[in-house]
Amino acid sequence: MRRRNMTIEGLWIPLITPFRDGDLDEASIQRLVHHYAAQPVDGLILGATTGEGLSLSDEEIDRLVLAARAALAEAKRQMPVYLGLSGGAANKVIKALHRTQMLPVDGYLIACPYYVRPSQAGLYQHFAALAENTARPIVIYNIPYRTGVNLGNETMLRLAQIANIVGVKDCCADAGQSFDLLRLKPQEFSVLTGEDALFYTALTQGAEGGILASAHVETEAFAHVRKLIRHGDQRGALAAWQALVDTPRLLFQEPNPAPIKHWLWRTGLIDSPELRLPMLPVSDALAQRIDQHIERLKPRVAA
């Protein structure tokens, strides 16, 4: 029987990791977390793809988690915090699970093993082994265009029977696969889209929410779309989405998270748009488009 307190749903933000002069910018981390603690956000994920997790040392991961938790405590906001993990070998991910067991995180977002392209049987055994090595909930991150392997629905549904595998961040890029998973999954297993531009579509098909990098900005607007869907106002949700959809399209014109960091820097939420190689800052052309978009939104935000 699945434990109900492990349910994951709603609007989650895969938080960017602010850097300054090559180091973590803990002041900006805390400013960001304070900001989202006051927004209609259901959870945060640290150190995942948008958080440039592969560039972080173990010591930096620890500092990131502790800074975020301290900010939530100061804001007096109860919000689940998950940690992003990934790797091409089960034994290394298991070591990461053991190493982070003392960190104040509520669960993990774990990507499919990248580069090695295992079979479906290998994928099942990989995630089953991970689940055996933590009591915390695991959300699978299925993103074949990054990892090189797609976790198919038959395997996903088998994994959904494991008590602490509680959901998937779905970026499979196959509309039929996503629809069938929503149609066939057990009720207590959550599907959250990770395709920002498909948020509305996923919600109308029954997704429990989204893990959306774009929701760093216009956060209330993203949450409002889901609220309208949940209240049965599909016409209103469509209108709200039509007003919002250009934002995720803009933010994915160049590799994530550079456009988001530029936006957050321009609006004063972080002190620098710095990234770590091989990620580069946005082009001058995109920076100008983002700045113009921010200016256009000011009357809407003020209202």
Catalytic residues: 141, 169
Rounded CA-CA distance 130/207 in Å is: 25
What tokens appear for 248 in the block?
């995720």
**Contact in structure between 130 and 90 (CB atoms under 8 Å):** yes
Burial, 245: exposed, middle or buried (Cβ in 10 Å; 0-12, 13-18, 19+)? Answer: middle
Beta bridge partners of 209: 10, 192
* Cα separation values, 86 from 24, 54, 90, 114, Å: 20, 8, 9, 8
Q: How far is CA 229 from the centre of its chain?
A: 21
The letter for the amino acid at 223 is A
CA angle 136, 137, 141 (to 5 degrees): 130
